[in-house]
Amino acid sequence: MQLTRRPFGAIDDGTPVELFTLANGAGMEADVCTYGSALVRLTAPDRNGTLADVVLGYDDLGGYLRDECYFGRLVGRVANRIGGARLVLDSEEFLLDRNDGRHHLHGGRGGFHSRVWRAEPVETGGGPGLVLTLESRDGDQGYPGNLAVTAVYTMTDDGLRLDFSAATDRTTAVNLTAHPYFNLTGRTGTDCLGHIVTIPARRYLATDPELIPTGSLAEVAGTPMDFRAGAAVGARMGEDFPPLSFAGGYDHCYVLDGQAGLKPAGSVFEPVSGRGLEVLATQPCVQFYSGNHIPEGLPGKGGAVYGERSGLCLEPQGFVDAPGHAPFPQVTLRPGQAYNQTILYRFFVK
């Protein structure tokens, strides 16, 4: 098994945090720490075979403890926003943590991104893996039910696989995702505006100025939201288009076209290095975020300095604010039901 572990510091209450390194036969490596189950480092080859780190993050635990960007973290119980921090399930209302103005974002201030997960290495049929588990108690951030969550990272021949599972003892809401920021140049501190993004979606969720879905699905055709044929991140970002103005760039949930099961959720290609990334997922949507609010001058890994657009995110997930919009496919999980979702990050060169 190509997996090692080492100490990565401790949080304020003294709970230790570990860092695990997974590797494949091609020399690619992934570092995952137990704080927030964060993907700290992921290497991928360019067209010349040179490996470089392609995710944003920090050199030490202190950076993650101070981080407000969710770099590399797993987020939940419910990813993205819940309008008014108000969750209604079976006509019962639950008030969630308000951590995004008057709204709820990525599970709240004490969400899964800020917990120390339990971790154990495992050898899977697909390669070396890491099993991370977390118990979320009834009332956690306002959510009902005791929820048991498992996330499994597996290093594959050409990338990284992430499998989620969860079970509850009371009806609740669950919508888990991962939040890595990618920059495929391999040069930390550069922007991602020249990355070519492709998203196989003809519709996205329309939002209000606070980025809360209105309940309508908007067509991408004829707008700067259309990435079906591929476009550079920065090519149309400055256009006078209200959804871009609301978000300060791209921060939108695309409804994926195609069948159920594992399907393409989007791809990224960086022309200079030749690195490409294909994201496949079982979820019905993907959030495309162009790093609009990364603080300028933020110290990153290896002496890098991050800022706006230093990285981009493709976050497979369920419909945003689904509990607030009955026509949307819901993210409700009931006792006896199994929650299972997969994200596959597959790298290529050309």
251 labeled binding residue: yes
181 marked as binding residue = yes
In DSSP terms, 160 is beta-bridged to 155, 345
Q: Is 195 a catalytic residue?
A: no
Q: Identify the active-site residue in 104, 179, 195, 252.
A: 179
CA atoms within 13 A on the CB side of 156: 14
- Is 179 labeled as ligand-binding? yes
Unique residue bearing structure tokens 């993210």: 331
180 is in an annotated binding site: yes
Under 8 Å between Cβ of 202 and 219: yes
179 is catalytic: yes
CB 204 within 8 A of CB 213: no
| Single-letter amino acid, residue 288 | F
**Active-site residue identified among 29, 270, 278, 315:** 315
CA distance 298 to 290: 16
Residue ranges at the known binding site for beta-D-galactose: 80-81, 179-181, 251
Would you name the residues annotated as active-site residues?
179, 315
Residue ranges at the known binding site: 80-81, 179-181, 251
